[in-house]
């Protein structure tokens, strides 16, 4: 096995992992605050991708700028889904929540199918063709920028949660909903903010990955499953776990594609998921937000 190839695999996996991390951080935020699993997470991300595509083809906006608009649009979508649907089943049994979110996922995925068709799409960016050499390995500039922006956004989310008053109320409600209610927190508003911010994460992640990853409406399902994977491996509700889990899963898949057939790469993360589910269902990083 050529060591350069392995190094290349690790590097490209790591760079792609930034997007996985951002996506998983959004999922874990929603779960941590509401104990609701967003089964429509990947489908929301696909909508972020298609918005980036629209902004690029209709307005000529580069996805590395358009991600801000995509995040804002998905924030609104997340807010609407939370206010209109999720809010009514926050206290319902898990099964009911899962089914409701499955319904939302079906609607979002197939609206995209009706609107954009099943053909794979990709967004053009000025950066798409540029590469730089780092010693023996080369790096796509697009991947590098995607990674950098995704990491900056994750850090920004961290600062929001730990350094601002709204962020502190979000963490308080996640930690102890009843306690937060007692001290006068508007928990419904916190839920709406958390769902909105969680969806905004995938809005941005979708736009950022749109020049790298060809996508179609059905991509949403595999992205959802990948996010569940990462969040379980990192620990449901743990931001740090989601971040590191994202990098870990991405590197594992990338190495899987190097050592085995590319079509077997997902086998790695699913096997890892089963092992973690059985032996450490709390994940690698506990469960605190």
Partner 1 sequence: MGPWLWLAALAVLLALPAVLSGYVVTIFILIFFYGFLGQAWNIVGGYTGQLSVGHAAFVGIGGYTAAMLSIEAGLTPWIGMFIGGALAAVLGAIIAYLGFRFGLRGFYFVLLTVAFAEVCRILASNIDAIGGALGLYITFTGNPRQFQFQDQRAYYYVALALMMAATGVVAVIERRRFGIYLTAIREDEAACEALGVNTFKYKMLAMLVSSFLTGIGGTFYAYYLFSLQPSTVFGIPLSVEIIIRPIVGGAGTLLGPILGSFILTPLGELSRSYFGQGGMYGVHLIAYGVLLIAVVLFLPHGAYPYLTRLFGGRPRA
Residue 156: CB minimum distance to partner 1, A:
28
Cβ neighbours, 10 Å, residue 38: 29
Please identify, using beta-carbon distances, which residue of 20 and 67 lies nearer to partner 1. Answer: 20
Is 182 or 278 the residue whose CB approaches partner 1 more closely? 278
CB of 174 to partner 1, least distance (A): 17
- Least distance (Å) between residue 270 CB and partner 1: 5
Q: Which residues bind partner 1 (CB under 8 A)?
A: 37, 85, 88-89, 92, 94-96, 98-100, 102-114, 117-118, 217, 221, 225, 228, 232, 261, 263-264, 266-267, 270-271, 273-274, 277-279, 281
Q: How would you write the chain as a 3-class SS string?
A: CCHHHHHHHHHHHHHHHHHHHHHHHHHHHHHHHHCCCCCCHHHHHHHHHHHHHHHHHHHCCCHHHHHHHHHHHHHHHHHHHHHHCHHHCCCCCHHHHHHHHHHHHHHHHHHHHHHHCCCCECCCCCCCCCEEEECCEEEEHHHHHHHHHHHHHHHHHHHHHHHCHHHHHHHHHHHCHHHHHHCCCCHHHHHHHHHHHHHHHHHHHHHHHCCCCCECCCHHHHHHHHHHHHHHHHCCCCHHHHHHHHHHHHHHHHHHHHHCCHHHHHHHHHHHHHHHHHHCCCCCCCCCC
CB 182, min distance to partner 1, A = 27
Nearer to partner 1, 110 or 128 (CB): 110
Give Cα separations from 97 to 6, 36, 155, 173, 176 (angstroms): 42, 7, 30, 19, 20
Nearer to partner 1, 147 or 268 (CB): 268
Q: Which residue's CB is nearer to partner 1, number 193 or number 272? A: 272
What's phi and psi for 110, nearest 5 deg? -80, -25
Q: Least distance in Å: CB of 38 to partner 1? A: 11
**Cβ distance to partner 1 smaller for residue 62 or 109:** 109
177 φ, ψ (degrees, to nearest 5): -60, -45
CB of 19 to partner 1, least distance (A): 20
Q: How far is the CB of 234 from partner 1 (least distance, A)?
A: 14
Tell me whether residue 69 or residue 199 sits nearer to partner 1 (CB atom).
199
Q: To the nearest whole angstrom, how small is the minimum distance from the Cβ of residue 241 to partner 1?
A: 15
Q: Which is nearer to partner 1, 26 or 63 (CB)?
A: 26
């Amino acid at each position: 096995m050529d060591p350069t190839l392995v190094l290349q695999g690790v590097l490209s996996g790591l760079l792609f992992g930034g997007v996985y991390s951002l996506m998983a951080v959004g999922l874990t935020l929603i779960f941590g605050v509401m104990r609701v699993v967003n089964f429509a997470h990947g489908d929301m991300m696909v909508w972020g991708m298609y918005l980036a595509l629209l902004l690029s083809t209709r307005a000529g906006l580069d996805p590395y700028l358009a991600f801000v608009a995509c995040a804002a649009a998905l924030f609104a979508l997340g807010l609407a889904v939370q206010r209109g649907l999720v809010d009514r089943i926050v206290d319902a049994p898990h099964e009911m929540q899962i089914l409701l979110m499955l319904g939302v996922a079906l609607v979002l995925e197939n609206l995209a199918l009706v609107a954009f068709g099943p053909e794979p799409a990709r967004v053009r960016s000025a950066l798409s063709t540029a590469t730089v050499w780092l010693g023996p390995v080369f790096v796509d500039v697009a991947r590098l920028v995607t990674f950098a922006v995704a990491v900056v956004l994750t850090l920004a989310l961290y600062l929001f949660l730990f350094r601002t008053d709204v962020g502190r109320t979000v963490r308080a409600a996640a930690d102890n909903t009843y306690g937060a209610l007692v001290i006068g927190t508007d928990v419904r508003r916190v839920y709406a903010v958390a769902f909105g911010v969680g969806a905004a994460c995938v809005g941005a992640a979708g736009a950022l990955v749109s020049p790298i990853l060809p996508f179609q409406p059905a991509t949403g399902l595999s992205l959802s499953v990948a996010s569940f994977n990462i969040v379980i491996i990192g620990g449901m509700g743990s931001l740090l776990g989601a971040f590191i889990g994202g990098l870990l899963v991405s590197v594992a898949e990338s190495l899987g594609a190097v050592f085995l057939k590319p079509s077997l790469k997902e086998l790695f993360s699913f096997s890892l998921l089963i092992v973690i589910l059985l032996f450490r269902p709390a994940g690698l990083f506990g469960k605190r937000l």
